[in-house]
A and B are shown apart, each in its own frame.
Chain A
Amino acid sequence: MSLPHRTGVRTGRAPSLTGLADERASGALLCDAGTVYLRDGQVVHAESPVAPGIEVLLTTGGRLTADSWREAVGRTGRTGGVGRFLVDSGRLSGAELEICHLGALFDAAYFALGHGSGPRGFQRGAAHWLGPVRPVGAVAVERETRRRGELLAALWPYPQVDTEPVVLRRPDGRAPAVTPRQRAVLALADGVRTPTRIARELGRPAFHTLIDIRRLAAAGHVATPRSARPEHPDRPGPPAGSAASAPPAPDRGPGAVVFTDPDIDLLRRLRDALEAAL
């Protein structure tokens, strides 16, 4: 609903966020996995299909009713002042709006600007219906996006757990205990829902749920599906003897495992670990 019309998209070389910030541009930076909105070179909002929007965050937890949200958008969405209206009408405190807004902004920016996505075009002059709330520098957004990627890789360097359906797994007795927030994630893990869908149903930022999923996968509470290679092939593998040192193949039923694509890195680490143990 809020994605800008694709007309007027600049063609040619893909624009960069920092380049647009340097020229103090205003508009929508269209990326593979989301949109980043700029005003006078500052990031005023971001959206991504995989990150729950600010309306999901505010209504799922019950902070605002869906009716109250619809009324705010209906009244002020066209003029781009929904955020201002929510505060001025006493529905939210200024700090609440800013906290929720920044949470949604950095969450969506991680997917729009992060690994596997990037800018495709820039729609000059496009503005978001929320209106400016708390603009952030483009450099800070890029730095945070990078930090988030490194944080996930440090927790469990298997990015496939971010996008595959979450499959429960019985860990061994030494696995770390599940936290209350993680319990809520596990309760929705039915082998069909993906982490971002779980985030949406819980009304949580998607990145926060990815942190939980990576921790749960590292502890062996959820399965790590097979993939060609880990995020950092040079990084040493998980500690030998940990609950899930060898990511198990997804259970696709008997006879479904086809070894067309041996994971060389995994085999090499396995051999090294065995040699070290002998």
Chain B
Amino acid sequence: MPGIDECLLEAMTVNGARGAALIEWTSGLALGMVGEVRDEDPEATAAETAELARMAAEQRAFAALGPGSDKSGADPDEADGEPAVEDVIVTTRTCYHLLRFVDTAFDSGVFFYLWLDRREGNLALARIRLRDLCGRLALI
């Protein structure tokens, strides 16, 4: 049964992967980090990334809309606090940044963060790999 480090190392096998982390978006705490560090203060970077995840998870603009949800945009599945957002993707001129929310059956507020070199990485494939990885992280 893999732990956090095994999951992070597996994420680093994605083509173009430069760094990976598991972060609490509720608090900004990095539970584990591997790979390259983008600046001198990786914890501050983790907290900033967590702030982006929090905004995406909590803004009503991104609440799930579809069958079974009312017009207010409130997702019935969100009663337990799990965000309706699956992932957040940021592209820059040189990198792809992927944030994937991890669904745990306890209140964790955790997301997986993977960043890639844009020349080597494939965004669509990386997203699928990350989705599968997060699915296997918890035994649900």
Contact = CB atoms under 8 A, between A and B. Distances in A.
B139 interface: yes
Contact of A180 (B47, B74, B105, B110): B74
Interface residues of B, number: 36
A184 B81 contact: yes
B58 A179 contact: yes
A62 B105 contact: yes
Contacts of A100: 104, 106, 108
Interface stretch (B12-20, B21-29, B90-98, B122-130): B21-29
Contacts of B3: 94-95, 97-98, 134
Interface string A88-126: 001011111111101100100000000000000000000
A60 B27 CA distance: 20
By secondary structure, the A interface counts as helix
Given A87-B1, A95-B4, A180-B81, A204 B139 contact: no
B2 A177 contact: no
B78 interface: yes
B120 interface: no
Nearest to B77: A180
A27 interface: no
Nearest to B80: A61
A144 interface: yes
B60 A57 contact: no
A218 B50 CA distance: 20
Interface string A219-234: 0000000000000000
Contacts of B1: 87, 90, 92-95
B2 A202 contact: no
B104 A63 contact: yes
B26 A211 contact: yes
A179 B78 CA distance: 10
Contact of B24 (A61, A62, A103, A181): A103
Q: Which 7 A-B pairs have the closest CB atoms?
A: A94-B3, A61-B106, A63-B105, A179-B58, A180-B78, A63-B106, A94-B1
